[in-house]
Structure 1
């Protein structure tokens, strides 16, 4: 950190104690030196980044703003420089809420529970016939933004959707990271990343009544066969869902509905029939809940599904890079996307 601070001090053409500090625009020489520190000329910059393959919410691309002739007040320069340093160079002790979450770790001493067995548990939990199904969701999510000219950043948000009796609904989105309560959180609500207070409201909207009766707006069924057809309709496909498509459809379903015990049991039974989804053992998710983990490998990524060990309810879904993308500074093991659903 001392080296980076010294670099910033040398890049500042006017020391903070100088009588000219904050009085006006930079001179030609000062502006040239600041431009050299901030970045290369536009003609030398790489082309804007692209989305990496994976789930549609993975890789929220950070567009690079055009740099016109920089004429900054020195006070603003100092603030921007220190913010950039905090975002890009600081260690976990200074801005832990900005850091990407580490992949969930399976307990080495845990016993994997086959999906068939968990489906039987879920069916037992739903045997009394009660459900608890309701429209709306409460979810914490972390999504990684990537571009060719900036390090990857992770944007943590909490989203609460509530439906009203007249079929209108409200959506509240706030910037928060439950791993670091009360700490500043990285947000890009204005198109550029910056730190905001924990709990900062990104958006609060009310939507008019929706009269659609097509999946996922219509209530999901509570038997596996009908649920399979329902999810195919939600994904707009007439062919059987592949395992990655089923996991995507599960995310879409849970971003619309909070499932009851019967719907949970139907979904677990459906997942038990999916190819390549294998049990790996017990994990503790990012909200501190214990669950059973099931993984599926796709090109360049590993998807981990976390289920409640008793009811089979989906607790979370994590996508982790298994192939490095050096042009995006993406490393093997980086968490690209994570959702944790709450009841």
Structure 2
């Protein structure tokens, strides 16, 4: 029962200190938490009875993001960022080869290079409306830094910023109404005293990720849901893990080996990510549910096997959402 309560608390779309509940979009943490619930084994039977079936994690994400925001039509709008450009004229690195490189690096890693709870994330998430009078999609860029120390103290910081356009105003959601804020504006800041780490977050955020690939997959299956099904769900579960933990060399090697053994991803070329880093891209473009409308891409450092980022793009037009093929649903860039 404790595990279920942890999942429910993690998925709660309104923080305990947010005041009376009212209609508004879920934040990123709540979106991921709801996605875990939709794809957990415990809710699978009940989910089959829903009219809107979450046949894949990507479809659940689209459904969660599809809100009708009051007043959004008269507020500032921003086009989604262009998808990253793949360079296919460079030598391909298979996931097996990348796993071997990461495993060799992990063998020489010291004890102090283990995983660190917390993360540093630059993200772009698209929000959408449906219907003939829907406003155009809006992409919200944010930077999030979460840190936890050995004594259980920690901090959270969320900043409105877009490294593609330094110094320019950034679109931000203010309780369902879009507005622009200055680049670098602090949206959320909180400090936690010593001893808070054991009480903060769900069970998943307090449990170190394993360094064995099979154990890691079971870890994702048990604590994040959906990872025992298909590649799309596994990638979203991995994204949620990465929001809560920064892997060390051994965890990075386990991630790459797990994906190599899973199958479904193929080398797609090299890219320069939105933070200017060169990476090796791997793509899943198989079925993602009844709509079959997205492509998922993950980007790794070709030398170390560290996960640098992930991108989900649309592969077909979705007129109800004013979405065109090739637009970006979400992008995450991970930093140390």
TM-score by length of 2: 0.73
Q: Tell me if 1:63 matches 2:45.
A: no
Q: Distance in 2 between matches of 1:189 and 1:303?
A: 29
Q: Measure, in 2, the Cα distance between the counterparts of 1:293 and 1:247.
A: 14
Report how many residues are paired: 267
Mark the CA change 1:165 to 1:277 in structure 2 (over 3 Å): closer, same or farther. Answer: same
User: What are the superposed Cα offsets for residues 316-343 of structure 1, whole Å, 9 maximum, x if unpaired?
Assistant: 0100001211122100000000100001
Shift of 1:210: 2.7
Deviation at 1:234, TM superposition (A): 1.6
User: Corresponding residue for 1:109?
Assistant: 89
Where do residues 275-294 of structure 1 align in structure 2 (5 Å cutoff)? 275-294=263-282
For the residues of structure 2 that align with 1:241 and 1:62, how far apart are their CA atoms? Answer: 27
Change in CA separation of 1:189 and 1:56 when aligned onto 2, cut-off 3 Å: farther
Give SS of 2:216's match.
helix
User: Mean alpha-carbon deviation: is it higher for 205-214 or for 183-192?
Assistant: 205-214
Please tell me the root mean square deviation across aligned C-alpha atoms, in Å: 2.5
Structure 1 stretches of 4+ moved >6 Å: none
Match of 1:218 among 199, 207, 211: 207
Change (3 A) 1:268 1:295: same
Contact 1:215 1:233 in 2 (8 A): no
2:182 to 184, 192, 197: 197
In structure 2, the residue matched to 1:167 is 152
CA separation in 2, counterparts of 1:64 and 1:231?
Answer: 33
Q: CA distance change for structure 1 residues 251 and 323 in 2, over 3 Å: closer, same or farther? A: same
2:116 is the alignment partner of 1:134: yes
1:84-140 alpha-carbon deviations (Å, 9 max, x no partner) = 5xx35xxxxxxxxx4321111111311221100100011111121323421110000
Q: Does the aligned pair in 1 maintain the 2:79–2:137 contact within 8 Å?
A: no
The answer to which structure, 1 or 2, has the higher relative contact order (CA under 8 A, 6+ apart) is 2
Checking the alignment, whether the CA contact within 8 Å between 2:88 and 2:268 is kept in structure 1 is no
1:61 Cα deviation from its structure 2 partner: 4.1
The question of whether the paired residues in 1 share the 8 Å contact of 2:221 and 2:228 is answered with: yes
Aligned 1:142-181 pairs, distance under 5 A: 142-148=124-130, 149-181=134-166
Paired with 1:216 and 1:66, the residues of 2 have a C-alpha distance of 36
**Which of 218, 221, 231 is residue 243 of structure 1 equivalent to?**
231
> Whole-Å Cα distance in 2 between the matches of residues 171 and 213 of structure 1?
16
Does the 8 Å contact 1:62/1:192 carry over to 2? Answer: no
* 1:300 corresponds to: 293
* C-alpha distance in structure 2 between counterparts of 1:249 and 1:60, whole Å: 17
Q: Distance in 1 between matches of 2:59 and 2:197?
A: 29
In the other structure, the counterpart of 2:321 is 328
Structure with a larger share of its residues in helix: 2
Distance 1:214 1:106 in 2: 37
Whole-Å Cα distance in 1 between the matches of residues 82 and 167 of structure 2? Answer: 20
SS at match of 1:339: strand
CA distance in 1, matches of 2:90, 2:100: 20
Check the 8 A contact 1:139/1:341 in 2, yes or no.
Answer: yes
TM-score (norm: length of structure 1): 0.72
Any gaps of 5 or more consecutive residues in structure 2?
1-53
Distance 1:194 1:230, change over 3 A: same
- Which secondary structure does the structure 2 equivalent of 1:337 belong to? strand
Give the whole-Å Cα distance in 2 for the aligned partners of 1:337 and 1:259. 22
CA–CA separation in structure 2 for the residues paired with 1:187 and 1:60: 15
Q: 1:125-161, CA deviations, whole angstroms, 9 ceiling, x for partnerless residues?
A: 1121323421110000000010031000100000000
Q: For residues 104 and 230 of structure 1, what CA distance do their matches in structure 2 show?
A: 31
- Return the alpha-carbon distance in structure 2 between the equivalents of residues 135 and 56 of structure 1: 27
Counterpart in 2 of 1:270? 258
